[in-house]
Chains A and B, each alone.
Chain A
């Protein structure tokens, strides 16, 4: 389900701030989280994403502002009384209890009778395909199995919202992809809200309906993964997400296509409809590395740059080329390995990087 089908906010942050002494961890945050959506909060470490999640879980109290759950202010409601279970980065499974007892914990605290408790716990173990591990000790489980126990333990109370704090960060790459599938499917089947905190772009983009990008306690951008990838709202987002090249310049001609002059040349760019640009405005032009074409002799598209090849990074079908521009700044190009096979790219070689006017994205520093 996407946000547009369920426009009712389940959670809202209204100008929420969190201070620790003189340090501001979260700065006047406004955010609505909808019923049934998969929302990822993403940012570098120390950006306030985990603090926001902990405030939602009731483990931290906001210094200012109001958090509402289902239309009710929950600032003063303790974690114990909220049904906002969390999957922890460390998983925080109870090492002295076996798998079944771990999953039953939340029900035991709610004084559910033993028999019902066991049945419900087993149902969740079955759903997560770990029923045969019910009697094992936590120390006997693999990373992926522990993950499933942690999920079952949080979901057993059948909450309307599940909070996940970088739960996959301890797993190896293959397992991460598998667990992403498990989480995505689970969220769609259950139809409940998942709030997923991560610093990993691939995790956030692979699973979520909407992504929130945070930096230094502030929200930089909220949008669909595609919107964030293709139209970053600020220089920070352009830097943090994807493989983007950012050229700073100023407007030299307005019209259907904007003329932009930078330290490395003059380029054309289609302006976004919503913004009025005038002569001499300063702005940043973002060119995604995967929209750039490479050629050795002549440029193939409208805008082009001369680059000097430095190195390449080969990760399978896609190759990232690191190059240097005339003014010494870096430029990245991503291309399919197949397309580069017959090019003589070696250190010091020069080539043309070119792109369409419609593929560059503009960010006005004052608007960000």
Chain B
């Protein structure tokens, strides 16, 4: 269906406006990260990588990136595993209390992050597990597993229900069928869930701030730098975080989309 030109034009304009609204602050931050002036003012000074050099000269920042890296990779592995298991139990079994089980499994992202962070801190401190890197991992796994589950569940919804039975029928045990049929079928969703949970964990500030103690992640150190001094270091580190997260999320989308396009082309 073709739209009439004026309406078409208006809609396009609207979409452009929305994108400008969303991306201007980020783009501005990026521009000032390579600008020589200390304060974000116009006209701009000259191009410089000085602010990037400054933050990478700071051992605390390196440490934060190291911790964030360890945390987000561990979180991605654990959350994807847990998400897969939850999604599979939902796909495969029917039991009483399943609705309750599913709503509990999907609950964490609906809790305000500050409350979540505070609750995590209260619990972890009580059992002497706060202030360590694994404290952040535990908290982030709770937060991220539902995302992994949602992505993998979508994939499982597309599976031909006879596929697993066919594997049994051809002599595959339950575990074998899982490894040879279910996991390969879900592989794009699993990869996508991995990248997505890594991105969520890498970005997350509030919960990390509560439970990290002295092990600061990147978002936590950004706040610390911001409190100490206001210069474009913040813009530089912000741009790096933005690019990292966006890369992960876009990769996740591409993996999922490529699969869908292939299947549409094949007429499934």
**Is chain B a partner of chain A in the same complex?**
yes
- Listed in ascending order, the chain A residues whose CB lies under 8 Å from chain B are 57-59, 78-80, 83-86, 88-90, 92, 94-97, 105-106, 108-110, 137, 139-140, 153-154, 157
Q: Which residues of B contact A90 (CB under 8 A)?
A: 160, 162
> A267 to B169, alpha carbons, bound, how many Å?
54
The reply to whether the CB of B176 lies closer than 8 angstroms to some CB of chain A is yes
The reply to whether B263 and A59 contact each other, CB–CB distance below 8 Å, is no
**Does residue B94 face the partner (Cβ distance < 8 Å to A)?**
no
**Could you tell me which residues of chain B, from 94 to 136, have a CB within 8 Å of some CB in chain A?**
none
CB atoms of A139 and B170 under 8 A apart: no
Q: What is the distance, in angstroms, from B172's C-beta to the closest C-beta of chain A?
A: 5
Tell which of B167, B173, B265 touches A105, judged by Cβ atoms closer than 8 Å.
B167
User: In the docked arrangement, what's the CA distance between A89 and B162, Å?
Assistant: 9
Q: Which of B162, B263, B268 contacts A92 (CB 8 A)?
A: B162
B167 adjacent to A86 (CB under 8 Å): no
B residues apposed to A, CB below 8 Å: 160, 162-163, 165-173, 176, 180-181, 184-185, 187, 262-263, 265-268
> How far is the CB of A145 from the nearest CB of chain B, in Å?
13
Q: A95 to B262, alpha carbons, bound, how many Å?
A: 11
Q: Evaluate contact between A96 and B171: CB separation under 8 angstroms.
A: no
The distance in angstroms between the C-alpha atoms of A88 and B184, with both chains bound, is: 20
Q: Do the beta carbons of A139 and B169 come within 8 Å of each other?
A: no
Question: Is A59 within 8 A of B168, CB to CB?
Answer: yes
Residue B166 contacts which of A58, A86, A96, A157 (CB distance < 8 angstroms)? A86
- A139 to B184 Cα, complex, angstroms: 16
Bound-state CA distance A92–B167 (Å) is 9
- Cα A157 to Cα B187 in complex, Å, equals 28
Q: CB distance A92 to B185 under 8 Å? A: no
Roughly how many angstroms separate A157 CA and B263 CA in the complex, as a whole number? 30
Q: Is the CB of B169 within 8 A of A84?
A: yes
Q: How far is the CB of A348 from chain B (nearest CB, A)?
A: 48
Residues of A within 8 A of B267 (CB): 139
Contact call B176/A109, Cβ cutoff below 8 A: yes
Residues of the B chain whose Cβ atoms lie less than 8 Å from the Cβ of A140? 266
- A selection of 26 A-B contacts at a CB cut-off of 8 Å is A57-B169, A58-B168, A78-B168, A79-B165, A79-B169, A80-B172, A84-B169, A86-B166, A86-B169, A88-B166, A89-B162, A90-B160, A92-B163, A94-B166, A95-B263, A95-B268, A96-B185, A105-B170, A105-B172, A106-B171, A109-B167, A109-B180, A137-B266, A139-B266, A139-B268, A140-B266
**A59 with B165, Cβ < 8 A, contacts A95-B185, A96-B184 known:** yes
Task: Verify B173–A80 contact, CB threshold 8 A.
Answer: yes
Query: Are A139 and B160 neighbours in the complex by a CB distance under 8 Å?
Result: no
Task: List, in ascending order, chain B residues with CB within 8 A of A92's CB.
Answer: 160, 162-163, 165-166
What residues of chain B lie closer than 8 Å to A94, measured between beta carbons? 163, 166-167, 181, 184-185
Most B Cβ at <10 Å: residue of A58, A79, A89, A90: A79
CA distance in complex: A92, B166 (Å): 7
* A88→B162 contact, CB < 8 A: yes
Q: How far is the CA of A286 from the CA of B162 in the complex (A)?
A: 41
Per CB-CB distance, the 10 closest pairs between chain A and chain B, nearest first, are A139-B266, A109-B171, A92-B166, A92-B162, A106-B170, A79-B168, A96-B184, A109-B172, A88-B162, A90-B162
Q: Within 8 Å CB of A105, what residues of B?
A: 167, 170, 172, 180
Are A157 and B171 CB-contacts (below 8 A) given A90-B160, A90-B162, A139-B262? yes
A92-B160, A96-B185 given; 14 more Cβ-contact pairs under 8 Å: A59-B168, A79-B168, A79-B169, A80-B171, A80-B172, A88-B162, A88-B165, A92-B162, A95-B268, A97-B184, A109-B171, A109-B176, A137-B266, A153-B170
| Among A78, A96, A108: residue with most chain B CB under 10 A | A96
Q: Which residue of B lies closest to A54 (CB)?
A: B165
Chain A hits for B162, CB < 8 A: 88-90, 92
Bound-state CA distance A154–B169 (Å) is 9
A24 to B117, CA, bound (A): 54
Among A59, A85, A96, A137, point to the contact of B170 (Cβ < 8 A). A85
Q: A90-B160, A109-B176, A139-B268 are in contact. Are A96 and B169 (CB under 8 A)?
A: no
The chain B residue sitting closest to A105, CB to CB, is: B170
Interface centre among B165, B168, B171, B185 (most CB of A within 10 A): B171
Residues of B within 8 A of A96 (CB): 184-185, 187
A59 touches B169 (CB 8 A): yes
B162, B169, B172 — which one has the most chain A CB atoms within 10 A of its CB? B169
Q: Please measure, in the bound complex, the distance between the C-alpha atom of A139 and the C-alpha atom of B263, giving whole angstroms.
A: 8
How many whole Å from B161's CB to the nearest CB in chain A?
8
Residues of B within 8 A of A153 (CB): 170
Provide the bound-state CA to CA distance between A139 and B265, in Å: 9
Residue ID in chain B nearest A150 by CB atoms? B166
Distance, CA A109 to CA B166, complexed state (A)? 12
Q: In the complex the two chains form, what is the Cα distance from A92 to B268 in whole Å?
A: 13
